[in-house]
Amino acid sequence: MLRFIPIAAAILAVLAGLASLYGGRLAERQLELGSSAVLAQTRASDTWAEYQAQSLKAHINAAALAVAANASTRAKLAADMQSYRQRQPPLMQEATKLENERTQLLDSMDKVVTKKLDVDVGVALFQISIVLASVAAMTKRPPLFIAGLVGGAIGLIYCVVGLLR
């Protein structure tokens, strides 16, 4: 049984390397999604600020309209107020769309984080298994080798679950 230790350790090392590489890619994806979510939130906040500015302008014009004595001034203020109010619905739609986009990006990021956690546990188990197999080879204790194989199998399960999520 001990003669299979080098082969098993090599297989575990390859699996650890591949899983680590995939975990790195997941980390990159997580950062990308997080950055995109922050950008979408910033754009939504800017759009909401513009919406509020249009509302404030309309209210100011309404107040000015209430005290304006000149008919031409009243007509201009009323037209401006109408213009400000007409600009608001598209801004509200755009801000809501951007907030929904942000929420979808954050949901996707959460899924990537969950996958990465599984893969990271798998990598750790592969590394522990390699150590157990190495110690088993040096001390000639088969139970350590078996423990390493079991740890490697569990690590493989974690990685597969992470891939399939």
| pTM confidence score | 0.80
End-to-end CA, the chain: 35
Calculate the CA dihedral of residues 39, 54, 86, 70 and round it to 10 degrees: -170
Cα gap 39→88, rounded to integer Å: 22
Q: What pLDDT was estimated at residue 153?
A: 98
> Residue 72: is it exposed, middle or buried by C-beta count within 10 angstroms (0-12/13-18/19+)?
exposed
Please report which residue ranges of 68-141 form alpha helices under DSSP H: 71-139
Domain that holds residue 53: 2-164
Supply the pLDDT for residue 66: 87
Q: Is the dihedral of CA 145, 150, 153, 155 positive or negative?
A: negative
Amino acid at position 135, single letter: V
Q: What is the pLDDT of residue 11?
A: 96
pLDDT at res. 3:
86
pLDDT for position 165: 87
| Count: domains in the chain | 1
pLDDT tens for the chain, 165 residues: list them. 778 999 999 999 999 999 999 999 999 999 999 999 999 999 999 999 999 999 999 999 999 988 888 888 989 999 999 999 999 999 999 999 999 999 999 999 999 999 999 999 999 999 999 999 999 999 999 999 999 999 999 999 999 999 998
Ramachandran region, residue 140 (left: φ > 0; alpha: ψ -120 to 50; beta: rest): left
How high is the pLDDT of residue 68? 86
